[in-house]
Structure 1
């Protein structure tokens, strides 16, 4: 993904993809070599593998509802690339992919060259790296209070 696109989206409300279980409305927090970090209302920070993003829709008319502001001291994970980001999430509770049959929640226990390993319930799930569309972990922000 071009750094020009991510510079253009910084601090703007936009929608990742046009619909479906992976689509979210949010604000761009950070961009790495092959991922972006998006602050969302319901899921906190969602890290998108940019190889799977099909479109961005900007909120030009203010019709996308987004009522979250990150505090100045809000901390979230950053890395050079998506694999390094996944490595920084080891031993944390993660949600991989937002919905559909490939969604997995559990503790990310290992990251290898081509797979990640997640303990989910009583199972060890091996997930190929390439099809991972997005990931999030426990950090969330409370919605802003109405004035």
Structure 2
């Protein structure tokens, strides 16, 4: 292999590596922009965001109720308030960051993304957790989970 060919191969690998990282970087950019928007536009002020349709129709909290206000609190470095608004959403963030980081590193290394997150056992367990959280936060003894 000549010196020019070697440089072309390495240049192509670098371009492939950069291209493979575009998806995780795009997700990070969109998530960061959404987080910055929610941090700047206060969901505690009426008229900025729509009311939760489930709460509006039933008077009960859905699993996502309080998430926008929790993210606003996190954007303002107030994790205690965020936990009080939606502890499940806040507790999910470290797992999402871990899985995103693993995806980004594997993409940078040129390895395929792992699909063990999509294991049906994990998905069913998470769905069960969300349903239990949904029910308990609407019962009298679970009011501490309500936003």
* Fold match by TM threshold 0.5: no
Shorter-chain TM-score tier = under 0.3
Higher strand share: 1
Larger Rg belongs to: 2
